[in-house]
Amino acid sequence: MLLSKEISQSRYLQTLSVCSLVSSDLKRMQEGFVEINSVPTHIFTYGQWIQDEFKKKELVLIITGNPGLPGFYTTFASTIFNELKEEIPVWVIGQAGHDEPKKELNMITPPLKGNEDIYNLKGQLDHKKEFINRFIPKDVKIYMIGHSIGSKMSLDLLKIPEFSNQIQSAYLMFPTIERMAESTKGRLVPTYDRFFFLFRIFYNFIAWLPKSWKLYLVRRYCEREKLPLEFHEPSLEYTNPPVIDKIWFLALDEMDKVRELDEKLLKENVNRVKLYYAVVDDWVPLDAYDSLKTKIPNIDAQVCTEGYEHAFVLNNGVEVGKIVSGWLNIKRQETQ
């Protein structure tokens, strides 16, 4: 598992258009900001950096949920990398605008206003398409893992022939791929939105506090929620008003755009997708699993019996990482 002190010992590396923050243990983890569709995007990689040549023509690509901060996926990603015996790289890409670079990197994140098409659901999909086009050669097999709204993006990539031919499988974890507005929390979003201006006043006040104060508040929150130490630093993004605005903007667009299940797409890719649902998931309709199995009986879908929650990466990254690694090992044997 990546320890937080490994990150703190990192150094800066500027190469071409990629500004990369590289860890001291290059074999295990590298992180950096890459400009994709004009947005500095935080990327985490295990096994090799995005500019390195592929030794094995295989890659595990994880698309985060919303909020899309890849720093919350380090435990999950490193577990998969280790369980696969470090044979193939594992990359994590976050959502555009959800994680801003430090000032010393001299990279500017476009504001939400006037750039809504970059940060909405379609823009986020275009963002992933651009990343794959630039950094993943066409002869590399891709094993997709999508979490939450990342599952929707993973499915949508299967619609595109140039990517579909590369994607060997797509693992949709706690997938928000239909009727999000009908979910338990989705039904509350209109109410939250009416009073969001009050929350905006609060987090703009927090933003003015010294970093030491903000870090103290974040640490207290993480301790209360029993979150691991390595998640304290990523949680600071929740004190950044432009980031919170983009997270909420995407959430609203999800409620509007994620409606009917794409049965046709799932049927066409029934041998390549696997869906993993929680028993109770506040962002997924209660009948989602049963409805899916009724419509597509031969779909590979299962309900988590271990009680892992929608935001599994926070407390159960190791356990879920081992489950997914088992699926990946089986799929890799089938495709050899």
Strand partners for 173: 147, 276
Rounded to the nearest 5°, which phi and psi values hold at 158?
Answer: -70, -20
Kindly give the residue spans of alpha helices, DSSP state H, lying in the chain.
4-8, 74-83, 116-119, 121-135, 149-158, 161-164, 189-194, 196-207, 211-224, 232-235, 241-257, 263-268, 288-295, 317-335
Name which of 54, 55, 60, 7 is nearest 32 in CA terms. Answer: 7
Sheet holding 90-93, edge to edge: 11-15, 18-22, 30-36, 39-46, 90-93, 58-63, 141-147, 167-173, 273-277, 300-303
Say which residue the tokens 């206003």 belong to: 113
Residue 281 annotated among the catalytic residues of the structure? yes
325 C-beta neighbours (distance < 10 Å), count: 19
- To the nearest 10°, report the CA torsion of 81, 168, 283, 256: 130
Calpha distance 277→110 (Å, rounded): 35
Calpha distance 206→68 (Å, rounded): 21
Sign of CA dihedral 262, 268, 274, 279: positive
The full length of the chain comes to 336
Name which of 236, 244, 207, 237 is nearest 219 in CA terms. Answer: 236
What DSSP letter does each residue of 196-221 carry, written as one string? Answer: HHHHHHHHHHHHTS-HHHHHHHHHHH
* Active-site residue (options: 20, 23, 78, 148): 148
* Active-site residue (options: 78, 147, 281, 325): 281
Calpha distance 95→76 (Å, rounded): 17
Cα-only R_g, the chain: 19
Contact indicator for 174, 284 with CB cutoff of 8 Å:
yes
Residue 310 annotated among the catalytic residues of the structure? yes
* Active-site residue (options: 127, 147, 310, 325): 310
**Active-site residue list:** 148, 281, 310
